[in-house]
Amino acid sequence: MLCIFLGEATQGPPSRGPWVASSQEFLAMTEEACRLRCLEAVGAGSCPERSALPFALEIAPGVRHFPEYLDRGEQAALLEQLREIWRGAPLFTPRMPRTGKPFSVRMTNCGPLGWVSDIDGYRYQANHPETRRPWPPFPPRVLAAWAELALGSPPPEACLVNVYGGSARMGLHQDRDEDEFSAPVVSLSLGDEAVFRIGGTTRDSPTRSFRLRSGDAMSLGGPARLAFHGVDRIVAGTSTLLPEGGRINLTLRRVTKP
Ligand code: SIN
Ligand code: MN
């Protein structure tokens, strides 16, 4: 995979961080041209090998897609850790505020805070809604993903784990239950592909969709931190990672002001 940084260099070189090109720029750029742009942007000695950096496509301002961010070994290891997590913090079915209608995804959380939804509303809390126990700690690879993809942000406080069966989906929504919006939302996908839909910061803005595959990461930050997004559908049979099929998505967030 290739990796290009064009955006943040004017603020000073990142030591190791996501380098981003718009998809148009990326497709048009040869390896040599990329190297030259890098040298131009951050100077000799600060321009690491592209293979050492997460590669990103900037789908729209602030919407970054990191295809193949986790390799297959990392995906399998993370899956094992997630299975351990939901032995201690069992998957539950969230419900819509007021109506109590069940979501089609099941979820759990890890980290100090967890996002829950029930008849009383959406909120973060420190305990599992059924067992009342604290959420399990973050897996180290998840923290490493945050350090790389949310470069410079305060540490994450919540990791929502969404488990999608073949017919599960998620309607368009904003992630806005946090007190802090300066850090991006970072997500990791495992298992079957999702048709992910992203729009603007109002419900009626135009949307586009792209596929999130097993091992892909994504971040919504800056102008896209409050962008409407959702999952149209899961494409069955597109990954062999989960023997039972379906998809798992981890969403990492900073919740409180640092
Ligand atoms: C979410 O927005 O909570 C999940 C998005 C996804 O499953 O990719
Ligand atoms: Mn969301």
Residue 5 confidence (pLDDT): 42
Q: Which residue has the higher pLDDT, 168 or 39?
A: 168
Whole-angstrom Cα distance, residue 120 to residue 233?
Answer: 27
- Number of neighbours of residue 125 by Cβ within 10 angstroms: 14
Number of H helices, E strands in the chain: 4, 14
Segment 49-108, tens digit of pLDDT: 544 456 677 788 889 888 889 999 999 999 999 999 999 999 999 999 999 999 999 999
| Position in ligand 1 atom list of the atom nearest CA 160 | 3
Closest CA to ligand 1's atom 3: 251
Map out the domains of the chain as residue ranges: 8-53, 69-253
Note the pLDDT of residue 152.
84
pLDDT of res. 205: 96
Place of tokens 């969709």: 209
Specify the pTM: 0.85
Q: Examine the pLDDT at 33 and tell me if it is beyond 50.
A: yes
Q: Are 124 and 177 in contact (CB under 8 A)?
A: yes
Q: Which of 190, 192, 214, 197 is nearest to 68 (CA)?
A: 214
Which chain residues have CB less than 5 Å from ligand 2, an ion? 175
pLDDT in the model for residue 30: 55
Between 13 and 48, residue with greater pLDDT: 48
Does domain 69-253 sit in CATH 2.60.120.590?
A: yes
Mean per-residue pLDDT of the chain:
86
Instruction: Give the pLDDT band of residue 151 (cuts 50, 70, 90).
Output: confident
Q: Which residues approach ligand 1 with their CB closer than 6 A?
A: 160, 162, 170, 187, 194, 196, 212, 229, 231, 249, 251
Percent over 70 (pLDDT), the chain: 79
Q: At what angle are helices 72-88 and 140-149 packed, to 10 degrees?
A: 120
pLDDT in tens, 209-254: 999 999 999 999 999 999 999 999 999 999 999 999 999 999 999 9
